[in-house]
Structure 1
C-alpha cells in the first residue's frame, strides 16, 4: 500500500493552504491524502456533550473542519484518494506518530488566533524537529506553487553527506515530479584565523575553501539523473543567509536535519530553524542520519 501524504488541519487559513499544497503533492506522487485534526479538547471539556449529537462540542467542530478540508481537497484534486481522522491527542505528538507511516507531513506555519496561533506555530517546529519522514512547512502566500510552478525551481542546501544525503535525494525527486530545475547550493566561509594581510596570499585561503565547496557539489551531484536540469552554485556567506536568498527564486527549499537517537530536545540545527521561520517559499525538512559534519548548505566550519 502506498504511504499517504499527511496534513495537519485546524480550520485556519495557514492550515488550509497546507491542505492545498498536500493535495497537489499527493496528486504529483500518486499517493493517498490523509487529513488529521489533533487536539486535547477532552482535557477542557471533560464529559460535557453537545446536546444535539451526543459528542463533545470540540469534536463536532473538528469533524466539521476535516470534512470541509476534505471537500476542498477533493475539488482541487478529484483523482486523489482522501481520508480524515480526528484525534483527541496533543497535536505535536499525534503528528509525529502519524509521520511514521507517511511519505511526508505537510503543515502550515500558524494556527487560528491568539494562544492557539502561538501553540500551533510551536507544533510545526516540534514536528519538523522530530518526525521520521520529510516535513513540508508551507509558508504564507505560497499555496499554489506546487501546480503553478511560479519559479519552476527546487532549491537544496548541499552538506557534507554528498550523494548520501536524504535531503538531496528528496529534492531530486521533487524536481522530477514538478519538471522543475534543481538549484544545488553550497555555502562556504573562510575562517577569520585563516585570513592574511600579505597582498600575495590574501586570496589563497578563500580560494581553497571555495574549491572545496565546488568539489563537494561535484561529488554530491555526480549521479543526478540526466533528465534533471541542475544549477550548481557555491556562495560565500553563512548558510542561513545563502539559503534564505535562494528561497526567493524557488517553489520549495529543501534542507537536511540530523537525528540523534535518544536526544529529547529539538533536532533541527540553526540553518533549518532559520529557514523555517524566514523562508520566502515552502520548506521541506528531511531527516538525515547522524554525521560528524554540518547540515544544509553548511561548510567545514559550523553553519552561521
Structure 2
C-alpha cells in the first residue's frame, strides 16, 4: 500500500502576479494546518526577451524578476502568518515543468494556480498540470484564482471508479478529511457499459453493484481513518459532470490521474478544468499488479 500522506514540505509556485497571492495563501494555510515547511518556488528562463531599453532605465533580468517575486511572496506570508511557518524561497532557471517537478520531489503536495484562460486553452493548461503531477510524483493541488477560505473547506470529495487508479486518490482524500476534521464525500458516477441480465431491474442492478464497489474500495481506509465521516454519492451522470457538480459544495475535490511521461486522462482533464474549488490531482503509478488489474472492466470508464 503506497502512502500519499507524506511528511514533506508544501511547495507552491510563485509567478509574481497579484492573483498568485491567493494561491500562496492556500498553500500557507495548508502548511500551517499540518505544521509543514512552506517552499516558495519561482522558475525563470535566462533567454526571456527584455523590455526595450529607454534612457536612464535598465530592465531587470529574469533572475532579478524571480527574486523580486519571491521577496514579495515571503513578505506576504510573514504579514499573514508571522513566523509560525518555516519558509524557504527558491528561484531556479529552467522550464516550469522541470523546476516545479524537481522542487516537489519530496513534497507532501505541490500547489499551483488554475489557468484564468477559458475553453480549449484551459484544457491545454490543465493537461500540463496532469503532466506535472505525473512528473512530480506527489499530489498537485490546482487552486482557482478566486479562492477564499470558507466553511466548505472542511468538506472533501473524491471520485472513485473501483480500479487501482482510485487507490492513491482515496488515501490522500481520507488523509485530507481527517486533518480537517471534516466530511469525505465519495463520488461514484457513470452508468455501467455492460447490460444487466434479463431478470434484473437496470437501475436497481446498477445501484447494488455500485454500492458493493464502494464498500470494497472504502473498507481499507475507513478502518485506517475511523474518525472520518463518509458520505456516499452515486450518480448516473458522466464522471466529470458529477465531480464538477459536487465541487460547488466542498472545499477540495480529489481525482486520480494516470502516471507516465504523458498522462492521457480525459475525465481528470475535464474535471480539473471546470472545478469551482481547489482540486488535487493524485497520480497513479502503475505496477505490474496494477497493469493486470487495470485490464479488468470497470463500472466507470476513466479513459
Calculate the TM-score normalised by the size of structure 2: 0.81
Equivalent pair of 1:32/1:81 in contact (CA under 8 Å): yes
**Quick one: distance in 2 between partners of 1:2 and 1:227?**
20
Contact in 2 for aligned 1:5/1:102 (Cα 8 Å): yes
CA-CA distance at 1:178 after TM superposition: 1.2
Task: Report whether the alignment pairs 1:237 with 2:229.
Answer: no
Alignment equivalent of 1:38, drawn from 43, 56, 73? 43
Distance in 1, matches of 2:47 and 2:165, equals 47
- For the residue of structure 2 that corresponds to 1:133, the secondary structure is coil
Change (3 A) 1:120 1:62: farther
Counterpart pick for 1:207 among 204, 207, 210: 204
Q: Secondary structure of the equivalent of 2:105?
A: helix
**Superposed displacement of residue 119, structure 1:** 9.2
> Structure 2 stretches of 5 or more lacking a match?
1-5
TM-score for both structures, normalised by structure 1: 0.81
Find the counterpart in structure 2 of residue 177 from structure 1: 179
Name the SS of the counterpart of 2:104 in structure 1.
helix
Compute the displacement of 1:194 (Å).
2.2
Aligned-partner Cα distance in 1 for 2:165–2:217: 4
- How do 1:42-81 and structure 2 match up within 5 A? 42=47, 44=49, 57-78=61-82, 79-81=84-86
Cα RMSD (Å): 3.2
In 2, Cα distance between equivalents of 1:120 and 1:271: 15
**Using a 3 Å threshold, how does the CA distance of structure 1 residues 150 and 160 change in structure 2: closer, same or farther?**
closer
Q: Is the 8 A contact 2:126 2:273 kept in 1?
A: no
Q: Paired residue for 1:286? A: 282
Q: Secondary structure at the match of 1:165?
A: helix
Q: In structure 2, how many angstroms separate the alpha carbons of the residues matched to 1:89 and 1:39?
A: 6
Q: Distance in 1 between matches of 2:29 and 2:217?
A: 29
Following superposition, the deviation at residue 85 of structure 1 comes to 0.9
- Cα distance in 2 between the residues matched to 1:121 and 1:204: 39
Residue 171 (structure 1) shift: 0.7
* CA distance in structure 2 between the aligned counterparts of 1:13 and 1:204, rounded to whole angstroms: 55
Stretches of 4+ aligned residues off by more than 6 angstroms: 117-122
Shift of 1:131: 2.3
Q: What is residue 152 of structure 1 aligned with on the other side?
A: 154
Long gaps (5+) in structure 1: none
Q: Deviations over 1:254-297 (max 9, x none)?
A: 0111224xxx32x1511210111000110000112323449xxx
Distance 2:112 2:243 in 1: 20
